[in-house]
Chains A and B, each alone.
Chain A
Amino acid sequence: MQASGQEQYVEFGIEQEQYAIRIEDIHEIIKIQDITAIPNVKDYVKGVINLRGRIVPVISLRCFFGSEEVPFTKSSRIVVIHHQEEAVGIIVDRVNKVTTFSDIQPPPERVGGVQGSFFTGIGLAESRLVGILRLDEVLLHE
C-alpha cells in the first residue's frame, strides 16, 4: 500500500462505521441544504444542490451501501469532493475529524456488507478501523 502516516484524511461516519477520504480530494464540507430530486435516476443519487451558483449532484453514501434511509440529523453533512473536474456531494451522517493513519491494510473481499473494491484500504487509527473510499469505484459504479 501507499506510504501511510503522512497523508491526511477526513474521517466521517455512517451508522456505526467510519470511513475516510483523502483530504486533497475534498473541496469543502457543508451542512445539509435543500436538495432538488431528479426523477428517474439511481436511488442513491439524491438530487442536485446549488453550491454558490453551481449545480452539484449529491449522493447518499448510506443508500449507496444499502443501509436504511433515515432523516437527516443536525450532524448530517455533505462532503463535496472534486472528482474528474467536477464537484460531487456525498451525504454522510457525521464528519469526525482530520486524521492520519499509522497503518493501512489492503481491503478484504467484503467490508461489512459492502464490496471490498470500494475501498483502497483499511486504515488503523487509535484502534479504530476506517474504510478509505476509492472514489473512482464509488462514483463510477454502475
Chain B
Amino acid sequence: MLSEYREVFLEELEEQLQLMDEEILKLEQEEDCSQVVQSLFRAAHTLKGSSAAMGYDVMKNLTHEMEQLLDLVRSGKRGVTGKLIDRLFYALDHLKLLKLDIVDGGGGTGIDISVCVRQLRSYASGEETDGETAAIVNGEAETETKAGTGAETGEFGGMEGFKAQEPDFAKPPLPLNVRLKAGECLDQGLNVHWIFVRIAESCAIKGARAFVIQSGLAEWGEVLFASPEMEELPEQNGETADIAFLHAGSGRSPGDLQTLVSDMMDVAEARVEAVSSEEFELVQPQLSAALPLEPAMSAIQPVRNEERGAGTSAKGKTQTIRVSVERLEHLMNLVGELVIDQTRIHEVERVQRRRFNDPSVEELGHISDHLSRIIGDLQESVMKTRMLPIEQLFNRFPRMIRDLSRDLGKEIELVIEGKDTELDRTLIEEIADPLIHLIRNALDHGIEKPEIRQSKGKPAKGTLTIRAAHEDNQVVIYVIDDGAGIDALKMRNSAIGKGVITEEEAAYLSERESVELIFRPGFSTAAVVSDVSGRGVGMDIVKSHIEKLNGLIEIDTAVGQGTCFKIKLPLTLAIIEGLLVKLTGQTYIIPMSNIAEIVRVTPEDIKTVRGQSVILLRNQVIPVAWIHEYFRLPKPEGHKPYISLVIVGSAEKRLAMVVDELIGNQEIVIKSLGSYIGKVPGIAGGTILGDGSVALIMEIAGLIGKIGGKGAVSQGG
C-alpha cells in the first residue's frame, strides 16, 4: 500500500509545506493573525493525518506537536511572537528535511527532531526563557513517559496525547479498502473492534512482539488493518510502542478480547473498542482528504480546495486536477503526430481534387479544413496545460529574502507583482537559478546597509521588486532594487584591473557597454566575497543560462538610485519562432531570437581583410560566414547578383551568415535529435515541418564560437 500512495503523499506534502512557508511569513507581517493561524493549524493537521496513514511516525510526531502548539495559539492561550515564528520555521525546516529523507527512500526516521519538539513544547508550556528550555523539557519528557500527572503535560504533553488515568490511544486513519472490508464484516454480523496495544518499554524487539500479537489476534478472527507497520516500530529500549489493530471476529466481547490481549507477553496496556458501521461513514470524508479514493485514481487527484484554506488565494477556488507531466508530454506528442497527418490529408485532398470532380472530394475538403481548425485549437490547449503561474517560483522568495536580509544585516521590503503570469513549467524550473542569483546579488551588492542608506537620504528599508508580466508574446521578469546602482567608470577600471579588457578596448566602451561588462566571464565587482553571492558563479553564467532558454537579459541602472534587471523569455521552451532558410537545397532554421537583421548585398560588398570575408554595415565590420563550408555542403552554382545575409548575434558578437534563399518565418516545435546522434556542433535540434520533412535548427552561439572564433568582432570594435 505504501508505495502506491507515496507519490500522492509527497505531492500533498510539498503543497502543504509551501503553504506553511507562506503562512508563517504572513504571521510576521500581518496584524490579525487568526486566519493565518487557522490555516497553519489545518496544514499541520492534514500532514499529521497523512503522515500517520503512511506510517511516517517521526513526521507525524512533529506535526502533532505543531498542531498542539497552534491550537493553543488559535485559542489565544499563547501569543504570536517573533519567537513563535522562529520556532515554527525551525520546525518547518525539519519537516523539509524529513521530506527529503522520505524522497530518498528513507522512512523519515533518520532526522532527529527532539530539539525541535522540545522547543515547540517549551513555547506551548509558556516557558519562554530561551537558554534553559532544554533542561525544563527534559524533566517534562520524563514525567510524560510515566503518563504524566501535571495538568500542563496532560493538556499538550505526550506524543500520543496521554491522559492521566486512562491511556488515550489515537485511532489511525484507514484507507478506503480497509473501510470497505470492515463495512462488509459488519454486514456479515461479525464484531469489529479497535484493539489498541501498548508494548512495554522493556521489550527489546518490538516489531517481532507486535507480529506475535497480530498472529495471536488472527486466531480469534481476522486482522483487517494494523498501524503503524511492524517495521516502523521503534527498536530502542526505554520507549513504549503503540499499535492499533482493526480486528473482525465473532463470539468474543470487547471485554474478553481485552483480557486476552492484556495477558499476552510484553503488553503494558490494552484497550478494546467496539466499532459500529456509523464510524466508517463518519470517518470517510475526513479520510478521503488524506488518501486517494482508489488506486486507479492515484495519478489524478482532485486538489482539495477547502483544505487549502480561504486565506491562500482566490485562484485556489478554480477546479483543478493533478496530472503527471509525463501524460501531458505524451499528449503533446500525439498532437504533434496529428498535425503531421493533417497536413498529409490536406495534400491528398489537393491531389484528389485535381484528378476527380466528385462531391465526395468536396466533402473531403470540408473535413480537412475542419480538422485543421480543431487540431490547431487542440494544440493550443495542450500547450496551455503545460503553463503554470510563476507564483510557484515566486513563493519561494519571501522566506529566502527574509533569511538573507537577516544574515546581511539589511532591511528589505519585498514587493512581488504579477504572480499569476503563466509560463511553461520547464521554463519555471530553468529560470529559478538565474533569478535566485540575481536576487542574491541585488541584496548583497545592490541594496546598501541601513546606515549608509540613511546617510544618503534614502529610507533605511530597501525595496526589492520582483515583477512578472506578459509583453507581446514573451514573459518579462524584472528584478528591481533601489540600491547603489552600477557605476560604469568603476566597472571599466575593474575590468581593466582584472584583465577582462584592455585599456584600449575600454576607451571605446559606451556607458551602457561598460555596465554590461558585468556579464563578461571572470568578472565580479564584489570587493569582499561573501557567502551570499560571489561563490564563483558569476553573472556570465546567469546570462548564458538565460540565452540557452532563448531569452535575453538587460540592465538598466542609475548610480545611487538602483538597478533593474529585465529578463525576457519565450512563453514556452518547446516552441520558438524561427526563420526558415535554404542552404544547398536543404531547409535550415535560425532562431528568431538570434537574428539582428537581414540584409541583401552584392558580391562586391563583401571584402576580404587578412583572409577573412567581412562586410561593412553602418560602419561596423562584421565577419561573413560561408555556412556551406562549415556544414560541408557544396556551394551553390552560378553567380547571383545579390547575396542574402542573415546577421545573427549572441552576446555582443555578430556574424553575417550567407544563405541561398530566405523562405519565411514560422513557429516551430523543437525536438531533440536523440542521444544516438548526440551533440552536433552548430545544431540545436530538429523540427518537423508541415510537409513532414525534418529541418535542422542552427545553434547560433555555437556557430559563432566555431566559425566566428577567428573573425567575429565585438560590436563597434
Cβ-based interface call for B446 (8 A): no
Chain A residues in 8 Å Cβ range of B337: 52-53
Cβ-based interface call for A56 (8 A): yes
User: Interface readout for B651-693 with A: 1 if CB under 8 Å, 0 if not?
Assistant: 0000000000000000000011111110011110010100011
Cβ-based interface call for A38 (8 A): yes
User: Interface readout for A14-53 with B: 1 if CB under 8 Å, 0 if not?
Assistant: 0000000000000000000010111111000101111011
**Contact yes or no, B682 A57, CB < 8 A:** no
Chain B residues in 8 Å Cβ range of A52: 337, 340
**Contact yes or no, A45 B677, CB < 8 A:** yes
- Given B672, B680, B688, which contacts A38 in the complex, CB threshold below 8 Å? B680
Residues 105-141 of A contacting B (Cβ, < 8 Å)? 139
**Contact yes or no, A40 B631, CB < 8 A:** yes
Chain B residues in 8 Å Cβ range of A37: 586
**Contact yes or no, B676 A50, CB < 8 A:** no
Cβ-based interface call for B211 (8 A): no
A111 to chain B, nearest CB (A): 24
Q: Which residue of A lies closest to B669 (CB)?
A: A53
B668 to chain A, nearest CB (A): 12
Chain B residues in 8 Å Cβ range of A87: 674
Whole-angstrom distance between the alpha carbons of A49 and B632 in the complex? 20
Number of interface residues of A (CB under 8 A): 24
**Contact yes or no, A36 B693, CB < 8 A:** yes
Chain A residues in 8 Å Cβ range of B683: 38-39
**Contact yes or no, A38 B696, CB < 8 A:** yes
Chain A residues in 8 Å Cβ range of B672: 55
Cβ-based interface call for B333 (8 A): yes
Whole-angstrom distance between the alpha carbons of A54 and B673 in the complex? 9
Chain B residues in 8 Å Cβ range of A95: none
Cβ-based interface call for A86 (8 A): yes
**Contact yes or no, B340 A48, CB < 8 A:** no
Cβ-based interface call for A88 (8 A): yes
Q: When A50-B693, A56-B674 are in contact, do A41 and B688 touch as well, CB less than 8 Å?
A: no
Chain B residues in 8 Å Cβ range of A86: 674-676
**Contact yes or no, A53 B336, CB < 8 A:** yes
Whole-angstrom distance between the alpha carbons of A57 and B675 in the complex? 10
A30 to chain B, nearest CB (A): 13
Whole-angstrom distance between the alpha carbons of A123 and B682 in the complex? 43
- Given A39, A54, A57, A139, which contacts B630 in the complex, CB threshold below 8 Å? A39
Chain B residues in 8 Å Cβ range of A49: 694
Q: Which residue of B lies closest to A88 (CB)?
A: B676
- Given A40, A47, A57, which contacts B676 in the complex, CB threshold below 8 Å? A57
Cβ-based interface call for B134 (8 A): no
Q: Which residue of A lies closest to B338 (CB)?
A: A53
Q: Which residue of A lies closest to B678 (CB)?
A: A41
Whole-angstrom distance between the alpha carbons of A139 and B674 in the complex? 13
**Contact yes or no, B336 A48, CB < 8 A:** no
**Contact yes or no, B340 A55, CB < 8 A:** no
A47 to chain B, nearest CB (A): 8
Chain A residues in 8 Å Cβ range of B693: 34, 36, 50
**Contact yes or no, B674 A55, CB < 8 A:** yes
Residues 67-103 of A contacting B (Cβ, < 8 Å)? 83-84, 86-88
Whole-angstrom distance between the alpha carbons of A79 and B632 in the complex? 27
**Contact yes or no, B696 A41, CB < 8 A:** no
Cβ-based interface call for B633 (8 A): yes
Whole-angstrom distance between the alpha carbons of A40 and B678 in the complex? 12
- Given A40, A50, A88, which contacts B340 in the complex, CB threshold below 8 Å? A50
- Given A40, A45, A88, which contacts B682 in the complex, CB threshold below 8 Å? A40
**Contact yes or no, B631 A50, CB < 8 A:** no
Whole-angstrom distance between the alpha carbons of A39 and B677 in the complex? 11
Q: Which residue of A lies closest to B677 (CB)?
A: A57
Chain A residues in 8 Å Cβ range of B541: none
A119 to chain B, nearest CB (A): 20
Q: Which residue of B lies closest to A84 (CB)?
A: B675
Q: When A34-B693, A36-B693, A49-B694 are in contact, do A55 and B676 touch as well, CB less than 8 Å?
A: no
Chain A residues in 8 Å Cβ range of B695: 36
**Contact yes or no, A48 B694, CB < 8 A:** yes
Whole-angstrom distance between the alpha carbons of A15 and B295 in the complex? 55
Which among A38, A45, A86, A87 has the highest number of chain B CB atoms within 10 Å? A38
Whole-angstrom distance between the alpha carbons of A139 and B696 in the complex? 22
Chain B residues in 8 Å Cβ range of A40: 630-632, 680-682
Whole-angstrom distance between the alpha carbons of A86 and B673 in the complex? 11
Whole-angstrom distance between the alpha carbons of A57 and B696 in the complex? 12
A90 to chain B, nearest CB (A): 11
- Given A41, A53, A83, which contacts B677 in the complex, CB threshold below 8 Å? A41
Q: Which residue of A lies closest to B689 (CB)?
A: A50
Q: Which residue of B lies closest to A83 (CB)?
A: B676
- Given B586, B630, B631, B671, which contacts A55 in the complex, CB threshold below 8 Å? B671
**Contact yes or no, A55 B686, CB < 8 A:** yes
**Contact yes or no, B686 A39, CB < 8 A:** no
**Contact yes or no, B694 A57, CB < 8 A:** no
Whole-angstrom distance between the alpha carbons of A48 and B686 in the complex? 9
Q: Which residue of B lies closest to A41 (CB)?
A: B680
Whole-angstrom distance between the alpha carbons of A50 and B333 in the complex? 13
- Given A45, A50, A57, which contacts B692 in the complex, CB threshold below 8 Å? A50
Given contacts A38-B673, A53-B333, 18 further A-B contacts (CB under 8 A): A34-B694, A36-B694, A36-B695, A38-B696, A39-B630, A50-B340, A53-B336, A53-B688, A55-B672, A55-B674, A55-B686, A55-B688, A57-B673, A57-B677, A83-B676, A86-B676, A87-B674, A88-B676
Closest 8 CB pairs of A and B: A39-B631, A53-B337, A36-B694, A53-B336, A55-B686, A57-B677, A57-B676, A55-B671
Q: Which residues of A contact B (CB under 8 A)?
A: 34, 36-41, 45, 47-50, 52-57, 83-84, 86-88, 139
10 chain-A/chain-B pairs, Cβ below 8 angstroms: A36-B586, A36-B695, A38-B696, A39-B630, A40-B630, A50-B340, A55-B686, A57-B676, A86-B674, A87-B674
